[in-house]
Amino acid sequence: MPHFSPELRRSIHELRVEVARLHRELVRYGLVVWTGGNVSARVPGHELFVIKPSGVSYDDLAPENMILCDLDGRAIAGTPGSDLAPSSDTAAHAYVYRNMPEVGGVVHTHSTYAVAWAARGEEIPCVLTAMADEFGGPVPVGPLAVIGDDSIGRGIVETLSGRRSRAVLMRNHGPFTIGADARDAVKAAVMVEDIARTVHHARAGGELLTLPADTIDRLYARYQDVYGQSTDVRR
């Protein structure tokens, strides 16, 4: 068992509880099927994060089988859950944490409408005020990358760097979201599926009306700085 201070042990335990709970939110909002999808959370102030195990039913996820990893994606030996294989997307999450220090949470889902946009390799245009509020513009498409190394993580970082969007549609794969913490990243995952569905139906009915850039800027600034406490991970 690693020698962690009592404060760090408490922090890790709290994150295990939170990450296990947040996976139930993915199920509640219909964002995942079977054992797909994952939530992770950075341990504040440490080069560690907590993520779900691979191939374990959502019904069986619990704080004690969440896996503590270093920022290279390696499970910390001797800690609860370390006998399980971490999520197959662990390398992607680790790459994001290494290269985006402001990010405290990462989420991947297989939500139907967002995946459909990803399958077309098409960004979601900013045609809704709620979308301007939450994402500050269109939701971009990232490159095709396959599980097995940190290629997905590189695509996430390259696509989201310099953008206000907290969501990316990895081509032919699906959405990944980032946040100031894990709950914030789950919120982004819920919202990206909501706008993906709405814009899909809107386009089926006719031409989409893209919001002007200055309107997007005003809406985003109001939502982030006036409506409530800012959750923009880049502030």
Q: Per residue in 77-134, pLDDT tens?
A: 999 999 999 999 999 999 999 999 999 999 999 999 999 999 999 999 999 999 999 9
CATH of residue 221's domain is: 3.40.225.10
Q: What is the mean pLDDT of residues 26-45?
A: 97
Q: Is residue 1 part of a domain?
A: no
Check whether 235 has a pLDDT greater than 50: no
Nearest to 209 by CA among 126, 133, 123, 134: 126
Q: What's the mean pLDDT in 219-234?
A: 75
Average pLDDT over residues 201-206: 97
Percent of the chain's residues with pLDDT above 70: 96
pLDDT band at 42 (very low <50, low <70, confident <90, very high): very high
Q: Quickly tell me which residue has 């994402």 as its tokens.
A: 135
Average pLDDT over residues 37-45: 98
pLDDT on residue 148: 82
Question: 64 pLDDT band (50/70/90 cuts)?
Answer: very high
Instruction: Say if 234 falls within a structural domain.
Output: no
Q: Is residue 42 part of a domain?
A: yes
Q: Which residues contact 232 (CB under 8 A, 6 or more apart)?
A: 164, 166, 180, 224
Total count of domains within the chain: 1
Q: Is residue 121 part of a domain?
A: yes
Taking a C-beta distance cutoff of 8 angstroms, is the pair 52, 66 a contact? yes
Domain assignment present for 111: yes
Q: Which residues touch 184 (CB under 8 Å, ≥6 apart)?
A: 104, 105, 166, 231, 233
Contact (CB, 8 A) for 133 and 161? no
